[in-house]
C-alpha cells in the first residue's frame, strides 16, 4: 500500500490525540496522520511500549513531526485528563481525537463472568466516554473531530463475542449522540467499523483456521491496516467536513456474506466445534 494516497502536508499544524495508538490499527492511523503533517499523542497503559512506539512513529514519519507517549488507562478518567493536559502543554491544542483502545477475548455468554463483561465494557465503552469528556472542551476550541473505532460484530449475532458486541454497539450510539449535540459547535463525530483486517490482534484471535477470504469476503481478501487509516484521514480531511454521525464500514462486503458462509447459529450449540474453528484461545 502506498503512503501517498493523500496530498502531503494536509494536516500541517494539526494535533492528533489517539488512545490505543501503541499498536495495530491505532498505530497505523497515527503514522498516516503524522506522515501527512500532524503531531500526535499516543495513549495506552504500557509506558515502555508507548515510548518505543512514539520513537518509531517519529522515525517512520520522517518529516520532523513529534509524537508524545502519554501513559494512561482509559478506564480512569483522571489518567485520561492528565494525558490531555500533557498534550495541551506540549502542543497547545487538540484538533483530532481517535478512540481506538479496545479489549477482547473469545467466550460464550454462558462462560462470561460479570467481571469479564465489565472489563471489556470499561475499556471500550467507558474508555471512549472518558476520552470524549476529557477532550470535549479542547475540541470545541478548534472545532475538531472524533473518530471511534468500532467493529461489525454486533451487526449480527457473532458467537463468543457478547461483551465486545455490546460495547461496540454502545460506542456507535454514543458517537451519534455526540454528533447531534456538538454539531452546532462545529464538532464532528464518526465511527469506522473495520471488518477482517490482516496482521491485527483481532484477526489473530478471531480468524478461523485455514479459511479462504474469498468464501466470506466479496472483494476476496482481508483488509490492510492502511485502508482503515486512509478512511480516518478522509474523515478528518477537508473532504469529510460535511460528514458527521456516520458509520463508515470498511470490510470488503464481509458482513453481507457471513450468514451464507459460516454455520451460525447452529455452531454455537456445539462448543467443541467452535473451539476448533477459531484461532484464538477459549
Q: Is domain 15-277 annotated with CATH 3.40.50.720?
A: yes
Q: What pLDDT, on a 0 to 100 scale, did the predictor assign at position 261?
A: 45
In this structure, what are the phi and psi dihedrals at residue 71, rounded to the nearest 5 degrees?
-70, 125
241: annotated active-site residue:
no
Using pLDDT thresholds of 50, 70 and 90, give the confidence band for residue 219. confident
209: annotated active-site residue:
no
Residues with Cβ within 8 Å of 178's Cβ and at least 6 positions away in sequence, in order, are: 132, 146, 187, 189
Q: What's the pTM?
A: 0.88
Q: Which residue has the cell 473469545?
A: 106
Question: What does the block give as the cell for 111?
Answer: 462462560
Q: What pLDDT, on a 0 to 100 scale, did the predictor assign at position 179?
A: 98
- Which of 74-78, 90-94, 163-167, 210-214 has the lowest average pLDDT? 210-214
Catalytic pick among 65, 168, 175, 225: 168
The dihedral over CA atoms of 233, 228, 157, 126, expressed in degrees to the nearest 10, equals -60
Q: What pLDDT, on a 0 to 100 scale, did the predictor assign at position 263?
A: 47
Catalytic pick among 53, 150, 165, 229: 150
Whole-angstrom Cα distance, residue 58 to residue 61? 5
Whole-angstrom Cα distance, residue 219 to residue 253? 7
Q: DSSP letters along 7-36, please? A: -TTTTTT-EEEEET-SSHHHHHHHHHHHHT
Note whether 54 and 231 are within 8 A (CB): no
pLDDT in tens, 65-90: 999 999 999 999 999 999 999 999 99
pLDDT in tens, 168-186: 999 999 999 999 999 999 9
Question: What does the block give as the cell for 207?
Answer: 480468524
Whole-angstrom Cα distance, residue 139 to residue 118? 29
Whole-angstrom Cα distance, residue 24 to residue 46? 14
pLDDT in tens, 118-139: 999 999 999 999 999 999 999 9
Amino acid at each position: 500500500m502506498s503512503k501517498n494516497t493523500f496530498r502531503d502536508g494536509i494536516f500541517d499544524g494539526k494535533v492528533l490525540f489517539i488512545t490505543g495508538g501503541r499498536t495495530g490499527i491505532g498505530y497505523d492511523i497515527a503514522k498516516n496522520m503524522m506522515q501527512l503533517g500532524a503531531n500526535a499523542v499516543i495513549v495506552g497503559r504500557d509506558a515502555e511500549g508507548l515510548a518505543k512506539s512514539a520513537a518509531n512513529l517519529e522515525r517512520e514519519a520522517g518529516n520532523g513531526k513529534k509524537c508524545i507517549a502519554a501513559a494512561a488507562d482509559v478506564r480512569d478518567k483522571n489518567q485520561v485528563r492528565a494525558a490531555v493536559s500533557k498534550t495541551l502543554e506540549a502542543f497547545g491544542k487538540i484538533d483530532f481525537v481517535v478512540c481506538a483502545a479496545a479489549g477482547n477475548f473469545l467466550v460464550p455468554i454462558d462462560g462470561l463472568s460479570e467481571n469479564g463483561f465489565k472489563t471489556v465494557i470499561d475499556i471500550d465503552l467507558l474508555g471512549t466516554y472518558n476520552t470524549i469528556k476529557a477532550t470535549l472542551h479542547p475540541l470545541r476550541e478548534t472545532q475538531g473531530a472524533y473518530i471511534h473505532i468500532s467493529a461489525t460484530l454486533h451487526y449480527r449475532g457473532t458467537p463468543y463475542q457478547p461483551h465486545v458486541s455490546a460495547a461496540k454497539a454502545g460506542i456507535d450510539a454514543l458517537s451519534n449522540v455526540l454528533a447531534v449535540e456538538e454539531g452546532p459547535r462545529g464538532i464532528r463525530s464518526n465511527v469506522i467499523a473495520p471488518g477482517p483486517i490482516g496482521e491485527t490482534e483481532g484477526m489473530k484471535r478471531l480468524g478461523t483456521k485455514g479459511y479462504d477470504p474469498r468464501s466470506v469476503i466479496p472483494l476476496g481478501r482481508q483488509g490492510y491496516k492502511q485502508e482503515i487509516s486512509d478512511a480516518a484521514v478522509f474523515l478528518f480531511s477537508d473532504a469529510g467536513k460535511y460528514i458527521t454521525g456516520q458509520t463508515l464500514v470498511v470490510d470488503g462486503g464481509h458482513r453481507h456474506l457471513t450468514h451464507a458462509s459460516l454455520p451460525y447459529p447452529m455452531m454455537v450449540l456445539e462448543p467443541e466445534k467452535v473451539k476448533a474453528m477459531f484461532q484464538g484461545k477459549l
